[in-house]
Structure 1
Amino acid sequence: MNLEELFRSSWLRYEFLDNTVAEYLITAAVLLFGFIFKTLFSRMISGLMYRLGSRLWSEANLPEFRRLLIQPLEILLFLVFLYLAFQVLDYPMEQSDLREGDPFLKTFMFRTYQVFVIVALTWVLLRFIDFVGLVFKYRTEKTASKLDDQLVPFFKDFTKVLVVVFSFLVILGSVFGVNVTGLVAGLGVGGLAIAFAAKESLENLLASFTIFLDQPFMAGDLVQVGELIGVVEKIGFRSTRIRTLEKSFVTVPNKLMIDKPLDNLTLRTFRRARFDINLTYDTSSEQIRAITRDIQNYVDQHPRTNEDGRIRFLNLGPHSKDVMVQYFVDTMDWNEFIDIKEEINYKIVEIVEKHGAEFAFPTQTIHLQKPRAGKHEPPAEQAYFENSDIK
């Protein structure tokens, strides 16, 4: 008995759902092979892709490339092995093989497979875009301009959105047979409703282009928008991410970034320090003149301040005589600014103490007046109560 006769007489020739047991075994073997070796093949393919474009992305290394692409490539390769495995079975693997009379389960599984293939390809493209964005990020870090630092993440996100929209249209057209051209043309009828629904998103998108063209701020600038103060970390096509001085991460829509008054603190030439020195009311005019003169001289001679410092006896407050202190520090760094301000504050305290003056705090002075000698009339309040009818 030869192998052909053995096969015909054995259980391998038994059919189930129009396919023999042998065909099912071959299908399972192909799937098992793909599941075991998909990681190896994905590493080989990613390495080949990296070597082909190594001249374009010499700034990034192979581990970064594989870190982004291996997982989506594994899914895509497994779907390829799934396609090869089902070629052995009597099962439709082409769009033209589906018929109107086919069972729902068969049609559903085939449509689902097509969707997964397109999604996997989209995932590979998105990860590849991330890698290209990483390459350009390395390049922009070597330049002095900040404009390219914010353009790279913007166009990376914008390209990813276009890829996702295109993939969605491909799924509608190739998988579900939707007339995409007619669908896009038909959107003109409901375009007004869609425009109103996407009003905020469109405004933020247009605002992002305004930010890039007008450049009121860039990534890395310290800005103040309303009550919010922080460093711009990223400018997206919908919102701007700001790291506040409290180290929290705030997302602000781009429309608000251009509608509200925005103070770019990084573009200031100096940082201003302004506060009042509250001296007690028993401080003499000679002491105040000496204190203001010494503080003015120290501020003017300080190497990190300019000549616009003003020290003036400005106000007679309810509890103190107030001396205004205002000066400008030649730095944009916050930590350096507070260090210089602390140094000047110590010197101000020394000057006040040197001239024998004291700092004031909210107090009240109550004067008690004794009755005049020879008069025995009680105070008005006492006389009132004594003359009243209260018993």
Structure 2
Amino acid sequence: MEFLESEILENKVNDILWFIGIIVSSLLLKRLLSVSLSKVLYRFIKHDKVSIHTCIEMLRKPVELFIIVLMVYFAFLYLHFPLTWNLAATLGLKLVLLKIFQCLLIFSISWILIRLVKFIALIFQERAALTETKLDDQFVPFFKDLAVVTVSIMTFFSMLGIVFKIDVVALVTGLGIGGLAIALAAKETLENLFASLMLFMDLPFVVGDNIQIDKVSGDVEKIGFRSTRLKTADGSVVTVPNRLLTAQALENMSTRQFRRAKYLIKLQQDTPSSTIQNIVSQIQEEVLAHEHIYKPEPGVTRFEGIGDGSMDIQVAYNVESNNVAILNKTREEINYIIVNIVQNNEAKFADLNNRT
């Protein structure tokens, strides 16, 4: 047909229609093609605990970008810039567009690889959740982050080598003093990185343990390259640099078989000694009978001595749990018991504010 052979801006109508058709088709079919490709990838790494819908949602956007970039490249093969514009000679527009295409293509492939890494990590996290040990729960996020960083670095150097034709080997070799300067500038970052490796080698704690360092304590949520996240008892999240975890004394509260409670009960100074003996023995009896007391080492209640305006009874017991909430709940229950015992023995607590 003569119309298809006619030209618009030095491009045949037939070629322009092919260009438009490919672009429109890619926009209309990108969702279908991305879902189909995601299903194919899922067959190689499928797992009963992770649904195919999760895989599709994770891979859909990067695969769509890959399809669009590829189809746009093929679409532009049918067109050329009018020679009268002289753009190729003055601006090198074709070269610029080619570089952009190569960057987007490498980026989309890298994005797909990163999403695959995260999907595989999700599978291993589900498997790790089925085991009793928490060690694998700690390793999976670490190696996932390591793989993501590795893919990102490879993407950066691939762009330098493929797109900008830079000799990557010579670049890395020639860093020399510049690399040393960067290392010195990133001293703390490198310290945290090496500290994280030491944490994985020594394993002073794992994800889920309750630890205390300096004045900070909480449950370990995640151990990363640079820092460790702790969730405190009040629900806030504290980020601690890993170098501090290896440089300071750290207490793993989860390794305890029990937590200790110790405090004084102050009675009035005119309390008879027989009453004090009854209160001491009754408190000790009630403490031993409590379900959360650590029976091998329950602790002891005794008459501590005569204080400044009071008769002091020391109450000490061990709660069979490393959970702070259980410790506090047990203390509260025993405190109520102590108040009842003191009242039943017709004794009174010392009023230290009104001493004469």
Higher RCO (C-alpha 8 Å, min separation 6): 2
Q: How many residues end up aligned between the 2 structures?
A: 349
Q: Contact 2:35–2:60 at 8 Å: present in 1 too?
A: yes
1:169-195 superposed Cα distances (whole Å, 9 cap, x missing partner): 011111112111111001123222121
Residue aligned with 1:170, SS: helix
Q: Contact 1:204–1:255 at 8 Å: present in 2 too?
A: yes
Q: Which has the higher helix share?
A: 2
- Greater shift, 127-136 or 287-296, is seen at 287-296
C-alpha displacement at 1:289, in angstroms? 2.5
1:1-391 correspondence to structure 2 within 5 Å? 3=1, 5-8=2-5, 12-14=6-8, 16=9, 18-54=10-46, 57-90=47-80, 101=89, 103-305=91-293, 306=295, 307-365=297-355
* TM-score between the two structures when normalised by the length of structure 2: 0.91
Q: One-letter code of the match for 2:98?
A: F
Q: Contact 2:4–2:13 at 8 Å: present in 1 too?
A: no
Q: One-letter code of the match for 2:162?
A: S
Q: Contact 1:223–1:229 at 8 Å: present in 2 too?
A: yes
Whole-Å separation in 2 of the counterparts to 1:301 and 1:46: 60
> Alpha carbons of 1:35 and 1:303: their partners in 2 closer, same or farther (altered >3 Å)?
closer
Q: Contact 2:292–2:320 at 8 Å: present in 1 too?
A: yes
Q: Which has the larger radius of gyration?
A: 1
Q: Contact 1:207–1:255 at 8 Å: present in 2 too?
A: yes
C-alpha displacement at 1:294, in angstroms? 2.0
Match in the other structure for 2:84: none
Q: Contact 2:196–2:225 at 8 Å: present in 1 too?
A: yes
C-alpha displacement at 1:314, in angstroms? 2.5
Whole-Å separation in 2 of the counterparts to 1:338 and 1:365: 31
Q: Contact 1:223–1:262 at 8 Å: present in 2 too?
A: yes
Whole-Å separation in 2 of the counterparts to 1:342 and 1:189: 63
Whole-Å separation in 1 of the counterparts to 2:88 and 2:202: 58
Point out where structure 1 has 5 or more consecutive residues left out of the alignment: 92-98, 367-391
Q: Contact 2:66–2:109 at 8 Å: present in 1 too?
A: yes
RMSD: 2.1
* TM-score between the two structures when normalised by the length of structure 1: 0.84
Identity value in percent? 39
C-alpha displacement at 1:279, in angstroms? 1.5
Point out where structure 2 has 5 or more consecutive residues left out of the alignment: 82-86
Q: Contact 1:272–1:326 at 8 Å: present in 2 too?
A: yes
C-alpha displacement at 1:209, in angstroms? 1.3
- Greater shift, 212-221 or 319-328, is seen at 319-328
